[in-house]
Structure 1
């Protein structure tokens, strides 16, 4: 992604993951109303510019809306499950104060976030196999070939049978490799060497 535009670091994954506000499950809609002019709304403008993308990334199931130049004072309005509504006044608040207040009123605590992270790590991925996971071997996955120790492989799948059928069997003997030749006895080998 090219670094074009105003403050392009806002679009990097590292910046998005650094967001501090993770909404509770009850929050469905988040609306921020502010003006594009005036000193009273500077904190709200900075919050929208720097933190709204992080908020969207950390809360993908929450609908986010920004409304500009509708009221003289900025505020945040959130709609929760059960038709509940929460209004947060952010008049003359700085960007960091808005983040702290949102986290205090509608955010999850650090304890809950740590428990969710632990549960997320322990989820069983069906692609994993080994001693620590539900499947010991890949042969236990449907559609995979069973282990040769349990059920013998068909001859067509064995390398020795396939190579012998093709006529290019490799045999090692006395420091050399014979390709497709019959075994030579030691007496015949000595006779060949003396005749040469």
Structure 2
């Protein structure tokens, strides 16, 4: 019997679900904010968009900050902020989640030969981009395997020694 992810909407945390997304945003897209209410008929499409499509977009575009603000404004809005200071609003009231995704693709997705390229490696992905340990990044504490630690005052470190 295969183990299934537990919890509400557990399938959204599976790797195959996250990798199935096909939206690669332009390099100059820096932030996407989603504003909706948790109740109301005109907000249902944006709520579904947040739960269905945003996890895939975040996975494919790790450098883009994506956040939501619930129950703040009256209208459901998606705001896109670009690196050059431009802002764009998508009015999504009464639209389905798939329509919202198509609108987002039309404004902020890569097109042509750049579409579908793999995202740049994220610096936090150790072991996948040539780094085996965080100590290989400048400014971090060196590995105890390479350089002995000095001035360690942890209780667990001094258990073997007599004081």
Q: Could you state the TM-score of these two structures normalised by the residue count of structure 2?
A: 0.67
User: Displacement of 1:80 after TM fit?
Assistant: 0.6
Instruction: Please list, as runs of the form range in 1=range in 2, the aligned pairs for 1:30-179 lying within 5 A after superposition.
Output: 30-114=32-116, 116=117
Distance in 1, Cα, partners of 2:5 & 2:61? 25
* Partner of residue 8, structure 1: 10
User: Displacement of 1:51 after TM fit?
Assistant: 1.2
Question: Which stretches in structure 1 are left out of the alignment for 5+ residues?
Answer: 127-196
Secondary structure of 2:84's counterpart equals helix
Question: Which stretches in structure 2 are left out of the alignment for 5+ residues?
Answer: 122-128, 131-163
* Partner of residue 29, structure 1: 31
| Higher-helix-fraction structure | 1
User: Displacement of 1:7 after TM fit?
Assistant: 2.0
CA contact (8 A) 1:20 1:103 kept: no
CA contact (8 A) 2:33 2:69 kept: yes
Distance in 2, Cα, partners of 1:28 & 1:96? 22
CA contact (8 A) 1:30 1:63 kept: yes
Secondary structure of 2:102's counterpart equals helix
User: Displacement of 1:110 after TM fit?
Assistant: 4.8
Question: Segments of 4+ in structure 1 off by > 6 A?
Answer: none
CA contact (8 A) 2:33 2:66 kept: yes
Q: Could you state the TM-score of these two structures normalised by the residue count of structure 1?
A: 0.56
The alignment covers a number of residue pairs equal to: 119
Distance in 2, Cα, partners of 1:7 & 1:68? 19
CA contact (8 A) 1:32 1:77 kept: yes
User: Displacement of 1:94 after TM fit?
Assistant: 0.3
